[in-house]
Amino acid sequence: MLTSAAVQINVELPESDSKTVAPTDIAVMMTKDGRVTFNGRAARLNQIKRLIQKDLPGQTNVQNATVTIIAEVGVPWKKVNEVMKIASELRLKAIIATQPSK
């Protein structure tokens, strides 16, 4: 209950049939209007790398730390790409959050 409430997602996500549950330890959320939040706190896209780096030692599972990209429907791909690049540079895994198709 507590952990699921930590990251609140109230945006519309792209749909997929995937049943993998997204981890929410490192969550980068992007909305259509250009706002970026990192683990619920407002941030800018160019700060994300630093914020993740700062957050990494506190992770319980550093080996398998996964960046969850929560991109609202309508966010241009280059922004998602940007976050993927950051995850790749930090040698982290990345996962893109979706919602079940209606």
Structure tokens at 61: 């599972």
Q: Under rule CB under 8 A, how many of the chain's residues touch another protein?
A: 43
Near another protein by CB under 8 A: residue from 35, 41, 87, 102:
87
Q: Is 45 in the site for another protein (CB under 8 A)?
A: no
Q: Which of 37, 51, 75, 102 binds another protein (CB under 8 A)?
A: 75
Residues 49-82: b if buried by 16+ CB within 10 A, e if exposed: bebbeeeeeeeeeeeebbbbbbbbeebeeebbeb
Binding segment (CB under 8 A) for another protein, from list 19-27, 35-43, 44-52, 53-61? 19-27
Contact criterion met (CB below 8 Å) for 47 and 32:
no
Distance CA 23, CA 97 (A): 9
How far CA 42 is from CA of 38, 51, 63, 88, 91, in Å, comes to 6, 11, 26, 22, 24
Nearer to another protein, 55 or 93 (CB): 93
**Contact region with another protein (CB under 8 A), list: 34-42, 51-59, 78-86:** 78-86
Task: List residues binding another protein (CB under 8 A).
Answer: 1, 4-5, 8-9, 13-22, 24, 68, 70-71, 73-81, 84-85, 87-88, 91-101
